[in-house]
Structure 1
Amino acid sequence: MAHSLTLEQFSGMLGNLYQGPLEPTPWQSFLSQLNQFLDSKYVTFILRPPSDDSDGLMVNTNGSSAEVVASYNRYYFNLDPFVGLPNGKVVTLEEFVSQQDWLNSEFYKNFMEPTGVFHILGADITTHDGAQCRIRVSRGLEAPAFTDDDKALLAHFVPHLERSVALHTQINRIETERNLYAGAVDQFAVGTIILDENGKILQTNQVADRLIKEKDGLKLSGDNLQVGTPRDCQEFRRLVKQALQSQRGEQPSVVEAMRVQRPSGRADLGIIVRSVPLSEWNEGKHCPSVVIFVSDPEQESSAPQEIVKALFDLTPAEAQLAMLLANGLTLDEASEALGISRNTARAHLRSTFSKTGVTRQTMLVRLILRSVATLG
């Protein structure tokens, strides 16, 4: 028999339900509480039901092994009779499948009975954007069947679970897009450093991490970024302060640029400092406030030769030569690196000009560096 929930208990469970999308294992806290209040053996939440094309995503309060999850995904989901429930409605197994059919089913005999499951309470949910999920609450054969009170308790949370799943889906979509754009910036070999409202570092990308690790023009002092010479550092702090003031005053985004000397004598780093526009409802601390873009003139293009070859219909030799030229080598240096004669290199270059429609080496380099090849 389920325990009656006090307002405080209900509020706590509801809070964990909406916190669920941010947990390392989504909804683990809420499912564990539900498991306790319904006196069940375990609670299973399937965020994406398995299909013939893909595995499902399953969270289980008893920590089912990967083997059990894989077994269900690959075979038993096709045999599960307790699926296709009325959307958003809580039902018991007894209401959906006769006891005789349940006991005689291969799914029960080979999958449920070995895990000690007999009674099941559940609901299927399809969100407005098409996400499908299932929640299943299980008890053993020796336990009492689920009651109307148990159904009512779970039903209180179903609408909230639907909203929480919608939030989870949106967060995942935003995170996927963020990772995609961040990866594109990495491929362009541009360092990105995001500062908060106090000028402290919030986040860096791989290119920025490499430059900071080298300590050649960029370095960390605590959570603060230091650049170049003392004079460079003073100018950099001024630009960051100006960008922060612009953001706090809700003024148009400020964009400033500077060059930073490197102790090694290598080519100066190029730095862009700009304020990050706040959304209308943005509040709180540790918000992205300033973004720093860093370019390293000595960073070679990382465009894959196979992609350059496919984009411009080049031969492997022509693509190799084009990439060396794009990375700053002269024709003589490129021919030496490839172990070919200068005449052969010139022949490859003429053929490349013909295929790409350019007439000068500088135009070829610009064409490659501005193409989508660098995103490969």
Structure 2
Amino acid sequence: MTVEKSIRIAFVDDDEHLLSSHRRNFGRLRPEWDAVYFNDPLKARDIISEDRSINAAILDIHMPGMTGLELAAELRTHRHDLIIVMLTGYADLQSALLAVNELGVFRFYPKPTTLQTMLEGIEGEIESRAGQSEETLPTDFLDLLELGVIAVDDSLSILHMNAQSAEIMRRSSLVRSGTQGRLVVDPAPEGLNAFLNPPAHQAPRAQQSFSLERDEEKLSFLIRRVPKKADGKTTFMVILVDPTQQKPPAIDDLMDLFGLTRSEAKLTQRLAEGLALDQAAELVGISHSTARTYLKTIFAKTGVNRQPQLMKTVLSAIPSLR
């Protein structure tokens, strides 16, 4: 008796070892499903765009020829129904926000994430889509981030909140959950209300950053506009960053954000940890003179001219998306 293949998944990754692993495990985990595998994102784009039997696509974010974000954008123009899952080898917040908010990506998983976890997420989404009337922010995605993430409406009523934001609010006196579940920011930053409710003649801004500060306490506060497609209402994603808890960003993040070479990014990462130039150079494995040459280029690319400024820029740029 032939089992009907009611759900079909596409895997797109240039890593042949990972694709082989998926081939070995997929049939065992979901014997009633079907799968197709692509190591070429361009070929995957052409086939998935036309093949309506493919319910979901799991894409690697970093691939030669076409990135996962580019592939997701093209697939979305042809397949509004496609469930898109994105994989990345490092915590890339900027790409995650773009993927979820603008490309309609369902989930953004870090590598390694088990195939079972991804398939369970897709299965749950397929089962819930029939009764789902509006677009919501995936809370599982929010908890993957090391930053505090809160979804609010235009009155700052809290819709979703991840565990990290709850911890920041527990420690901080600058933000809290007030009456009727509203996000309270104290002191309220100038311009926040104008961002939430812009004048009718003014085009709304996509995002805005604020610095919250009182006495010795500081928080970075980014708010990003997220329009809902179902009813036209607007929600907002708030990113809270406690600078005392922030770790230096990954090398790949530094390369993507500032256009650094890998060697420059390695040196920058060490400098962001507060090391002196000679100490950083030794750990990276370059001479002091080479490190000084790199530093000049790093300053030019990041727009600073002193090492303390570099540390502040590097530690704040990724979470604030400035």
TM range (shorter): 0.3 to 0.5
TM-score normalised by L of structure 2? 0.44
Q: Which structure has more helix as a fraction of its residues? A: 1
TM-score normalised by L of structure 1? 0.39
Find the structure with the greater CA-based Rg. Answer: 1
